[in-house]
Structure 1
Amino acid sequence: MNGNQIEGLVGMVLVLGILVLMALPSVLGVLRDRRIDRQIREAHEDRGERETPMAQKAQKSSSRSTVPSTATWYADGRRSKKFVSS
């Protein structure tokens, strides 16, 4: 091998190394997302086996009060005003 071939080989290895370094974070992110999705799916399956179906459960009402928000109160007040043209 002469000097030009060695220089070309070193350049090619450097370019491939930089490409791997740039692609590595995205590949690791995809693998992590797939692992998390699998864990979530398994948790849902385990939870579904332990609990009774939703149709058999009695639906409970919320214990929170049903006080309207400030935005609702303001909108109701604005709608109730009558505009009279002179």
Structure 2
Amino acid sequence: MNTFLDYLTVALVFVLIALPSLLGHARDLRIDRQLRRAERPASAPAKIANSHYELTS
């Protein structure tokens, strides 16, 4: 039983140490995906639907 608790403790400490890094990596991947999606040109139907709006700066 002691051996099991030792393994469980090591696994828990590993998860606690690795979790912030894994969450940050997942967040970076999500942001990268959003940036790639924003860089793509809009689809043709969206351009046609929005073509009557005039953009001014």
Measured on the aligned residues, the alpha-carbon RMSD in Å equals 1.7
Larger Rg: 1
Q: TM-score, normalised by structure 1?
A: 0.47
Q: TM-score, normalised by structure 2?
A: 0.69
For 2:22 and 2:30, locate their aligned partners in 1 and report how far apart those are by CA, in whole Å. Answer: 12
Q: Percent identity?
A: 41
Count of aligned residue pairs for this structure pair: 44
Q: Alpha-carbon deviations, 1:27-82, whole Å to 9, x = none?
A: 010100000000001001146x86xxxxxxxxxxxxxxxxxxxxxxxxxxxxxxxx
Which is richer in helix? 2
Structure 2 segments unaligned to the other structure (5+ residues): 48-57
For 1:45 and 1:23, locate their aligned partners in 2 and report how far apart those are by CA, in whole Å. Answer: 34
Structure 1 segments unaligned to the other structure (5+ residues): 1-5, 51-86
Aligned partner of 1:44 in structure 2 is 39
